[in-house]
A and B are shown apart, each in its own frame.
Chain A
Amino acid sequence: MDFNYLTTIIFLPALGAVIIAFIPGLSNRVIKWLSALFTLVPLALSVYLFAIFDRSSGAIQFEEKLSWIPAINAHYHLGVDGISLPLVILMALLGFLVVLISWKIDLRPREYFAWLLLLETSILGVFCSLDLLLFFLFWEIEVIPMYFLISIWGTGRKEYSAIKYVIYTLFGSAFMLAGILSLYFATGSLSMVDIAQGGMAMVQSVMPAAAIFWLLIIGFAVKLPVFPLHTWLPDAHTDAPTAVSVVLAGALLKMGGYGMIRVCVSIFPQVAQQFALILIVLAVVNVLYGAAITMRQTDLKRLIAYSSVSHMGYVLLGIFALGQVSLVGATMQMFSHGIITGLLFAMAGLVMHNSKERDLRKLGGLARQMPVIAVVFSVAGLASLGLPTTSGFAAEFLVFVGSFTSAAVAGIKLWTILGVLGIVITAGYILWMLQRVFYNSPQDKFNKVKDADFLERVYMFVFVAVIMGVGIYPAILTDVIQAGVMPVMGLLGG
């Protein structure tokens, strides 16, 4: 392995950000093209990695390891396996698409695109890091661009939402830091791989592994988000600019789910089994409570935001059902939800931008003025409620089958059945939302509203193609994810 693929993928956007921020006199047009270029190349490279990924091996691939801080035994250690690679592709894809989605930004575009690219670097870094310190570094860096993106380019109570987001995240990562430090103390290593393979005995001999597990879980639970730590999410989503909502729902929330699999489950398999039931109950609460609240929303973006809370419940359910199929399903759900909700937010953004209205009670009949958006929004909505031939169906089906049949947790069947009820409510709020936006009687005030333009149709097409592609042939992803889940199952003793 001569070429450092992962380093290139991670740091190209950051390089783009530096160029955009510090070279004076770039026109807005050039800035946008540069952003597109610096996100397209990582996307192409990650797709290439996906193509040459060895699907028969559960090992970490494309590994890079350099000594970083000898004093604390920290390494610059990157690598992807079947669990992280789909998320890398997801972020790279969304990273490129959000540049297209942001094409109409003209408020301080230089800073905007610089922060957006930096955000991509940090999220990619989280998914690729195999060293806990490096992981945490990227995890924390992500907060800074988000803060600026929401507080400068947002709408409504943007400054409140931005600081709320930051405080929640830092609160979670404060506990995570304490967890990482304890883990480091107990094992003397910061390498996720080494600790997962051999650290357990040492962990238990020094302090209760359960304590470390919970310290770490809190950090991830804030991000996923898990009830009752979810209240930052609707605010942040509602007030963030469209593109940021897309990244936030699409990739950022997945950092929580990914961290749970990579750190909590892989390093503490026994503890995870011990406490799985608590987390599964929380997952079902997430699903049902999230869905119930979604029904009540009258703001278009807030509705989609709450639907994320509900859908992330499935991820949590899949992870802590601790079955092979359920873990594949959870990872699949992370990817699929990233694309679907990304598209939902992009469409909501278009509706809001074109019609200048976001209140569901005042919207209506827009299918007449914006047929293309109406169709694509409907596709995204149907995918979100899990219609077959969309990726949403494949993912949720795997989560439910996997959880229902999982032998790892007692009483899981009941909880899974309760979780399935969420689908019904989802169908309710999605269809009701579509009806209120597009299908009531047309209103005169929207007569001049335009449909999607060419560029918007391009990215819509990409989203829909991925949703349908994965929905029709899920094996393209499940093969890879399966390879990543096998070692985790090995640790779980299943």
Chain B
Amino acid sequence: MFIPLFLPELTLAVTAIVVILLDLFLKQKLVLAVVSIAGLLVAAGMTLGMWSSSLPPALIFFNTLAVDSFALFFKLLFLIIAALVILASADYVAKFRRFQGEYYALVLLSALGMMLMAATSELISIYLALELTSISLYVLVGFLKDPKSTEASLKYLLLGAVASAVLLFGMALVFGFTGQTQLGEIAGAIQGMSLAGVLSSPGLIAGMVLMVAGFGFKIAAVPFHMWVPDVYEGAPTPITAYLSVASKAAGFAVILRVFYSAFGLPTWLSLDWGMLFAILAAVGMTVGNIIALPQTNIKRMLGYSSIAQAGYLMVGLATVGFASAGDIAGRSGLLFFLASYALTNLGAFIAIIAISNKLNSDLIADYSGMAKRAPVLALALTLCLISLIGMPPAAGFMAKFYIFSGAVQNGLLWLVIIAVINSVISAYYYLRVVKVMWTGKPASRSKVPSSMALRVALAVSCLGVLALGLVPGFVMKLAEMAAQMFAF
């Protein structure tokens, strides 16, 4: 009876297996990409169908899995991201001699893990979903098999394992003090305690903080960001893109659900973790932006930039902590920011993939004169960088406006001022790339070609960035709906 509500996930799992099996028999590996994308689109269609049929939010599989518009919003986001990443990988993967099928299958499986992350409402299932995502990604990061990629993979694996352990420990503490693993029941248990009871059990607070640390690794929050630059630099570029948007969004989805559902009340508790996230946000964006300034490798630069963007996103989390439970401003702002950030960063990485296919280099200096060699790619990358700064007409502007307006409404003006000043700092390094592309002398006269798949992926993300920047009403509406409907 739960199967219809679980169809998108099942479709994805089946597609992944089909891709692996097809890989055994097929010579023409491009078919695998087509099959993967078809599977993703079918799953996306089902998700949309479930959303538009406006079912009441439900908990399935013994209250471990929520089917609410919050989860559906994220599922749709992950499916779109995965489809764009596969589209952007089609050329890139052709470089590999072996394991092309596994590559696509792993992307699909990690997408499946992320979809589950957004939906699970029980600590153990959350952990399982997280591991499904992470293990697929550990392998994908090492796919290039050169020293850098291998090092990145190992680093990611080791640090990720530590983070998982910390997370599990935190979950264990929370379980120990509440006796529950289901989020709604944890919330009930905490609200049932007296204030003195909660205060006399520091283990609960410690558990919460450890969970923040564990999830903080996923979203690349300072000080759990050490893996980011190396992994971003070493991983295959499409996987870097994937990590920087999907994995981060999944992390935020889990944090939002856990903290809002389980620790949302009483108010002093949510103010506590709200303040924790506000501080992490302020530190994260400042550290990310300042270290990004001197970077010379564009993938590393975007790595630090994604740490800073996680900081802006945590402004939304802080807002959720400070807002009253019925106020959706923080949550919807966060969702909209994630959608716009996903499109923007994907667009930037797709342009980088196209350029590095030709240059075989990720050094910013080698982008010199790119506006002459590949005007469309340069324009697209410029648009995405402008969006990352948070300037109109791109999506980043609306996203920042929306998320910051929620923060101001909940008394976080000081954090918003730190954030907007950080945007100014970030303009310096983003515009450095723009400057090199448009005013530098081209190193050679040869054009930079791009395949059809890349062009489609780039067009989709850039049009998305423009649409979210100029007519964001529709997606904001979706984000608001998603922020309202919680089942826990």
Question: Which residues of chain A have a CB within 8 Å of any CB of chain B?
Answer: 67-72, 111, 133, 136-138, 140-141, 143-144, 147-148, 151-152, 159, 162-163, 166-167, 170-171, 174-175, 177-178, 181-182, 184-185, 207
Contact = CB atoms under 8 A, between A and B. Distances in A.
Contacts of A133: 401
A181 B416 contact: yes
B263 to A, nearest CB: 26
Contacts of A170: 389, 391, 423-424, 427
A133 B401 CA distance: 9
A72 B409 contact: no
B392 A140 contact: yes
Nearest to A152: B439
Nearest to B407: A181
Nearest to A215: B417
Interface in B381-426: 386, 389, 391-393, 397-398, 401-402, 404-405, 408-409, 413, 416-417, 420-421, 423-424
Contacts of B471: 68-69
Interface in B149-185: none
- What are the nearest 5 A-B pairs in CB distance? A174-B420, A71-B476, A181-B408, A137-B392, A170-B424
A177 B404 contact: yes
Contacts of B447: none
Nearest to B426: A170
B409 A185 contact: yes
Nearest to B376: A22
Contacts of B259: none
Contacts of B417: 174-175, 178
A159 B439 contact: yes
B480 A151 contact: no
A143 B386 CA distance: 11
B420 A177 contact: yes
A136 B404 CA distance: 15
Interface in B257-316: none
A152 B405 CA distance: 36
Given A174-B420, A181-B416, A143 B439 contact: no
A159 to B, nearest CB: 6
Interface of B: 332, 371, 386, 389, 391-393, 397-398, 401-402, 404-405, 408-409, 413, 416-417, 420-421, 423-424, 427-428, 431, 434-435, 438-439, 471-473, 476-477, 479-480
Given A71-B479, A151-B435, A171-B424, 13 more contacts: A68-B471, A68-B473, A69-B398, A70-B477, A72-B476, A133-B401, A151-B439, A174-B424, A177-B404, A178-B420, A181-B416, A184-B405, A185-B408
Contacts of A163: 428, 431, 435
B228 to A, nearest CB: 25
Contacts of B397: 137, 140
B476 to A, nearest CB: 4
Contact of A144 (B386, B402, B424, B472): B386
A182 B408 contact: yes
A152 B438 CA distance: 7
A71 B480 contact: yes
B214 to A, nearest CB: 32
Contact of B404 (A68, A111, A171, A181): A181
A124 B386 CA distance: 21
Nearest to A133: B401
Contacts of A174: 417, 420-421, 423-424
A138 B371 CA distance: 25
Contacts of A166: 427, 431
A69 B473 contact: yes
A71 B398 CA distance: 12
A141 B397 CA distance: 10
A72 B329 CA distance: 10
Residue among A70, A159, A177 with the most chain B CB within 10 A? A177
B343 to A, nearest CB: 17
Contact of B431 (A147, A177, A182): A147
Nearest to B379: A21
A59 B420 CA distance: 35
A349 to B, nearest CB: 21
A111 B379 CA distance: 11
Contacts of B439: 151-152, 159
B473 A167 contact: no
Given A68-B473, A70-B473, A151 B405 contact: no
Residue among A111, A137, A141, A181 with the most chain B CB within 10 A? A181
A71 B404 contact: no
Given A70-B477, A71-B332, A178 B413 contact: yes
A151 B440 CA distance: 10
B353 to A, nearest CB: 23
A167 B422 CA distance: 11
A221 to B, nearest CB: 16
B73 to A, nearest CB: 14
Contacts of B409: 185
A141 B402 contact: no
B431 A178 contact: no
B179 to A, nearest CB: 40
Nearest to B393: A141
Contacts of B424: 167, 170-171, 174
A383 B100 CA distance: 73
Contacts of A185: 405, 408-409
A270 B471 CA distance: 36
Contacts of A67: 473
Nearest to A188: B409
B391 A143 contact: yes
A373 B405 CA distance: 52
21 contacts: A67-B473, A68-B471, A69-B476, A111-B371, A137-B392, A140-B397, A144-B391, A147-B434, A159-B439, A162-B435, A163-B435, A166-B431, A171-B424, A174-B417, A174-B424, A175-B420, A177-B401, A178-B408, A178-B413, A181-B404, A184-B405
B427 A72 contact: no
A137 B473 contact: no
Nearest to B391: A140
A69 B431 contact: no
A227 to B, nearest CB: 21
Contacts of A68: 471, 473
B285 to A, nearest CB: 13
A145 B472 CA distance: 23
Contacts of B371: 111
A243 to B, nearest CB: 18
B428 A141 contact: no
B369 to A, nearest CB: 12
Contact of A167 (B404, B428, B479): B428
A55 B405 CA distance: 38
A170 B397 CA distance: 12
Contacts of B434: 147
A207 B412 CA distance: 13
Contacts of B428: 163, 167
